[in-house]
Structure formats: C-alpha cells, structure tokens
Chains A and B, each alone.
Chain A
Amino acid sequence: MLASSSGSPRPSVGDIFFRSLAGFAALFVLLVLFGVAVALLWRSLPAFQHFGWSFLWTGTWDPVRDLFGGWIPIAGTLISSAIALLIAVPLAYGVALFVTSLAPAWLGRPVGSAIELLAAIPSIIYGMWGLFVFAPLFAKAEPWISAHIGTLPYLGVLFRGPPMGIGMLTAGLILAIMVLPFIASIMRDVFAVVPPMLKESAYALGATPWEVQRHVVLAYTRSAVLGGIFLGLGRALGETMAVTFVIGNAHQLSSSLLKPGNSIAALLANEFAEASSPLYQSSLLALGFILFVMTLVILILARLLLWRLETAQGKAGL
C-alpha cells in the first residue's frame, strides 16, 4: 500500500526520465519545423534577392532565360484547393449527418468505414485513377458542360474549353474526393458526441430535425467542424502526386477551369530533378517556401478563428 502511494513528494528517477523524454519529443517537433523553414528560406534566398517581392505576382516561368515568377502556380494551388473545398465540405456534411443521425446503425457504420477507407488510398492511385478512368469519362461530359453551363452569363467563362478531361476542374474534383474523408470523419466524430440531452430537449420544444441540426448540433460542434475543414484545406494545398497527373501542367492561368493549369506542388514534382541552373533551383525552393508559409498562415488563421468562436460561444453559453 505504501509503495503504491501516488502522492509521493519526491519525484522518482523514472518520472524525471519520462518527463524529459516527453519534453524532448515536443521540442524535437519544434526543431524539425524550424529547421525545415530555415533550410527552405536559406536556399530560396537567391531567388527572392534576384526577383524581389515581384516573384509573388509575376507569371513568367522561363527556364531558358532564367526568369521566374510564382504567380501562376500560387494561383493554381489556391484555385484547385478552393474547388476541392467547395465540393467536399457539403458532401462531407451530408455524409456525417447521414451516418450519425439519419441512417440506421447497420448502414451508418459501413458507410462511415468506407469513407475512412478513402483516406487510406495512396495519392498516386488517385492520380492514376483520375488520369486513366476519370479524365476520359469527364472529357465526354465536357462538351455538354461547355454547351450548357459555358453559355451562362458571368459564370459561363469558367466552363468553356476543349474537351480534354484534364485541367483545373478535374484537379479540384480529384482533390475533393481526397479530402472528403478527412473532413467527413471529423464531422462524424464530433456530431456523435453532441449530448443526446441537448438534441432531445430541442425536439421536445418542437424543433424539426433540420432545426436541431442547424441550431443545436452545428452550433455545438462549430469549432471542431471548422478545424476539420482547415485540415482538409491543408491537405489539398500540398497534394502533389494526384494533382500532377490531372491538372495539365501548363504554365498558364486561364479564365476557364476546363483548361490546364499548374500548382506549386505539381510544378516542384515536375521540374526539380532536371533544374540545372542555381537560380532555377532556388526559384523552385522559393515556391516550396511560399507553400510552407501559405499552409502555416491557414493553420494560424484557423486557430484564431477557433479561438474567437470559442470565446464567443463561452460568453453566449454563460
């Protein structure tokens, strides 16, 4: 009895060892993060010094003349990720809602597992599937899209182009499928932990299922849902292999989403191996650094947003 007393005033050697081990693990992560950032910045400095801030908004990418600007891949990364979220978030919400509150248990569980399995598929498989299966099918649908959606005022410009099956929209669609499981499984997990008491009280007050979902479940889980969406966004921004296969890898920014474009990760995957001039390599690394910063900024924004939501919620709750 005495030996097992947990309130011992003197920490044992094991405790100290374990503490420092855990502390070291945490420090290690920070060191790695810092190391990656510094190494990227260091090697991209020549490009930043040579091109200055205009690197961010110049669209030239000419390895022959050693002229580089990152605008086209930066924009392509943002656009393809935006398309992915636009499609994946409503889908994920539907899946999570269905699995947690609408489906009978015998159906909800398999559907939930199937969604998680999507996350286990390696990205190169998505790329190959996208190129060899999805793109040819999509190419058959594109003339219809051009003829019907492409003729709409304003929005139509985005959907006009040759029926190639690959391009910005295809990349966005493949990305949507890839990030769907991350967003959906987080939504499902947090929807499942909403106290039944809250939901039942709302029902007792005469709320419809939609009202319960909107004002109770979503309100209760708002911050976690946002967290899931940002996790998906982070993944979409950095996805390399699948995007390289289907984005078209053309160094141009077109008004139409049906036309080929480029993203930072795809450009790096394509051109790094044969980049011979020092400025060329440095420009590629500079793009890598920009991608790193973009992801970091999004994570920080997500944190801030969550923090604000939580404080607002706290006040409202009290």
Chain B
Amino acid sequence: MNIKVVALSVSLLSLGMAGAVQAAESFSGSGSTAIQPVLTKWAATYKENTGVEINYGGGGSGQGIKDIKAGQVAFGATDKPLTSEELRKDHLIQFPAIIIGIAPIVNLPGVEPGQMVLDGKVLADIYLGKITKWNDPAIVALNKQMKLPDLDITVVHRSDGSGTTFNFADYLSKVSPEWKQKVGADTAISWPVGTGGKGNQGVASFVQKIVGSIGYVEQAYAVENKLAYTRMINAAGKVVMPDMKTFQAAAANANYGKAEDFYLILTDQKGAQSWPITATTWVMLRDDAPKATNEGVVKFFRWSLTSPKAQQEAEQLAYVPLPSSTVKQIEGYWKSKLGL
C-alpha cells in the first residue's frame, strides 16, 4: 500500500515536471552555417531575457530548405534565396536576417590590407584563369602606384558548398558575361582554375601560406587572420573599402520594394558607398504553421533585428545588422503575410 502511494506520487511528480518543461516555449531551426554563430548567440541572450528557447541546428542551407519544406522545424535559414514561385508552392515565406560582407584577399610580398584595388572584370578574369600573372596590365592599370611582381597567381576558392561561393559567383556573373555563360552561380560551382579550401578558415589559411595567391572570405576572417583584403570598384565606379559602412550601404541602397519576397541578392548594388560583394542570409517560415509557432519565431527575429543588444552582439561577431529601413520593410512583410 505504502509503496503504491510512493510510486503514484513519484509518477505524478514526473508528470508535473514534464508539463513544466513543455510549458517553456521552444522553437527549432536549421540551415545556413554562415548565420549559425550569431543565431546561437542571439538565442542564448533571448533565452536569458524571455525564457524562450531557440534551438538552431545548422547543417547547411540545403538542410534548412529540406527541413522547413518537410515542416520539421519552425524556421529554416538559407544563403541562397528561394524564388517566389517555389515559396508559394511549399507555403513558405522568407526575409533577410543579417548581412555578411565578402572580400577578396591576396598574399603578395609587401601588400597591406586595403591597399590593392580590383574590379569585377579583373576578378572574374583571374578566376576564369585568363589573368595568370600579378603584373598583368589589367591589374597594373588599377594599381598604378604599386610595384607588382612577375608572379603566378594561385587561385583559391571554397571546396565545400557555401553561400559565400554563391554570392561571390553571383557577383562575377553580374559583371562578366563570360563568367555567367561558362560558370554561373551556385553554392558549389565548376571552378575553371584553382585550389579548394574547406570553409572560410580553409581559404584563409591557404592564402596565408601561398605567396601569390588570391581568395575570397567573409571579411571577418580576413581581419582575424590579418590578410590583405582588397578594395573594389563598385557599380557606381567608386573605389570602396570593405567595412560595416559599405556593407550596410549595399543593403540600404537595395530596392527591396520591387523584389517580391526579398528575392534580391545584394551583390553589385547601386550607390556610391555600396560594397559590391555583399550577402544576406534569409530566414524561411511556413505560412501554414500553427499561429503560436510563427508568433514565437517572429517575436524572436523582431527582437534580433531591432534590439540594440542583439545588434551589438552581431557586430561583435563581425556580422552587419540590417539597416533600419530594411527592417521596416521586413516588419511590413510579416504583417501582410502572417498578420503578425
């Protein structure tokens, strides 16, 4: 008799605890690894403040798209946007959540960060294998004050499928018809020349080691590894330095008003201040998900995009927060698509 009572109370107690665990809200997401560090940081702070748990599993953009289509997660994240058609077919909506700046990096004796200038055409020709020497007239013409060596160019690219590659290749497609026709843009592409490094870190470490090499990484990795990032000539014909200001300018100058579902890749945007190889990561939600789920997720992203604390955390991790004009447009989008 006694034992039964104890057993009953234990099971009741455990039931109660399970109930308590479930009562704490929790939402899960998966996808892009590019946004993972900042999302994880945001989630930790958000949980401290609100008690709501956001679990982000990473796994790559492909995984995120697959999972949200299957309805296995509350949100997915991707470095490559889906078309409106595809979104509608699977009951999805998407909006940008963070800006990432991508910069070419070079390893040449005596060349300092931000010293060399490149433009899209030259960058494309280097990656097409048409420009093979550092003292090629096309590079010299952009860098008249520099003494460029008669050295072979070693091209370094990403070996893994990545949003960085997608945006880099998208930029080259926009500025070089030959690149567009021969190579195109995707998370992994058929590289005409070069060596592949795994991840931003892999590319950075190859460029660090190989004299005469050129690569492209998220700007944060260039700064962290003290690599010589280059300046670029943007769509307006102005020479710009890769930094938070020029990355944000690219987003602020982007005409999201005309782009349905934020299907707008930030590379080669207009504006005198815009950095030409700017990228965003998109978050995808299901418009047919339970209202409570979307409400919870949107609340989290509203906090991420607007609170000064979240912005500051993003900047500490070398991400660039979206400009407030873009955030307003996203809030309008939530209202019209989800009524939130």
Q: CB < 8 Å: which of A64, A135, A136 contacts B190?
A: A64
**Is residue A62 contacting chain B, with contact meaning CB distance below 8 A?**
yes
Q: CB < 8 Å: which of B80, B185, B195 contacts A260?
A: B195
A63 touches B160 (CB 8 A): no
A249 to B63 alpha-carbon distance, docked (Å): 22
- Shortest Cβ distance from residue A64 to the other chain B in the assembled complex, whole angstroms: 4
Among the 9-residue stretches A84-92, A98-106, A185-193, A266-274, the one with 4 or more Cβ atoms under 8 Å from chain B is A266-274
A270 touches B159 (CB 8 A): yes
**Is residue A164 contacting chain B, with contact meaning CB distance below 8 A?**
yes
Subset of 20 A-B contacts with CB under 8 Å: A62-B190, A63-B186, A63-B188, A64-B185, A132-B205, A162-B210, A164-B209, A165-B209, A165-B210, A245-B198, A248-B196, A250-B194, A260-B194, A269-B198, A270-B161, A270-B188, A274-B61, A274-B162, A275-B62, A275-B188
Q: CB < 8 Å: which of B152, B184, B190, B196 contacts A270?
A: B196
Size of interface on A: residues with Cβ below 8 Å to B: 31
Contact residues, B101-151 vs A (CB, 8 A): none
Interface string of A104-141 (1 = CB under 8 A from B): 00000000000000000000000000011001100100
Where the two chains meet, the residues of A that have a C-beta atom closer than 8 Å to any C-beta of B are: 60-65, 131-132, 135-136, 139, 162, 164-166, 244-245, 248-251, 260, 266, 269-271, 273-276, 281
**Is residue B44 contacting chain A, with contact meaning CB distance below 8 A?**
no
B183 touches A131 (CB 8 A): no
Q: CB < 8 Å: which of B59, B185, B195, B209 contacts A273?
A: B59
A270 to B195 alpha-carbon distance, docked (Å): 13
Q: CB < 8 Å: which of A165, A244, A266, A275 contacts B161?
A: A275
B188 touches A274 (CB 8 A): yes
* B213 nearest in chain A by CB position: A164
Chain B residues contacting A164 (CB-CB under 8 Å) are: 154, 195, 206, 209-210
Q: CB < 8 Å: which of B61, B183, B194 contacts A64?
A: B183
Size of interface on B: residues with Cβ below 8 Å to A: 33
**Is residue B271 contacting chain A, with contact meaning CB distance below 8 A?**
no
Chain B residues contacting A132 (CB-CB under 8 Å) are: 205
Chain A residues contacting B162 (CB-CB under 8 Å) are: 274
Closest 3 CB pairs of A and B: A274-B161, A249-B196, A249-B159
* B211 nearest in chain A by CB position: A163
A131 to B154 alpha-carbon distance, docked (Å): 17
Q: CB < 8 Å: which of A63, A135, A260, A270 contacts B189?
A: A63
B159 touches A63 (CB 8 A): no
Summed over the interface, the residue pairs from A and B with CB atoms below 8 Å come to a total of: 92
A248 to B183 alpha-carbon distance, docked (Å): 20
A132 to B60 alpha-carbon distance, docked (Å): 26
**Is residue B65 contacting chain A, with contact meaning CB distance below 8 A?**
yes
B184 touches A244 (CB 8 A): no
B189 touches A62 (CB 8 A): yes
**Contact of A273 with B190 at beta-carbon distance under 8 Å, contacts A63-B161, A249-B197, A250-B196 already known:** no
- Shortest Cβ distance from residue A302 to the other chain B in the assembled complex, whole angstroms: 32
A131 touches B205 (CB 8 A): yes
9 new A-B pairs (CB below 8 Å) besides A249-B196, A250-B191, A250-B195?
A65-B190, A136-B209, A249-B197, A269-B160, A270-B160, A271-B160, A273-B59, A276-B62, A281-B62
Chain B residues contacting A269 (CB-CB under 8 Å) are: 160, 198
A245 to B160 alpha-carbon distance, docked (Å): 12
A166 to B213 alpha-carbon distance, docked (Å): 13
* B199 nearest in chain A by CB position: A270
A165 to B156 alpha-carbon distance, docked (Å): 14
A42 to B270 alpha-carbon distance, docked (Å): 48
A244 to B195 alpha-carbon distance, docked (Å): 12
* A68 nearest in chain B by CB position: B190
Chain A residues contacting B197 (CB-CB under 8 Å) are: 249
B62 touches A260 (CB 8 A): no
**Is residue B187 contacting chain A, with contact meaning CB distance below 8 A?**
yes
Q: CB < 8 Å: which of A60, A131, A274 contacts B60?
A: A274
A61 to B186 alpha-carbon distance, docked (Å): 13
* B66 nearest in chain A by CB position: A276
A275 to B196 alpha-carbon distance, docked (Å): 17
Chain A residues contacting B185 (CB-CB under 8 Å) are: 64
**Contact of A248 with B160 at beta-carbon distance under 8 Å, contacts A62-B189, A63-B188 already known:** no
A270 to B198 alpha-carbon distance, docked (Å): 7
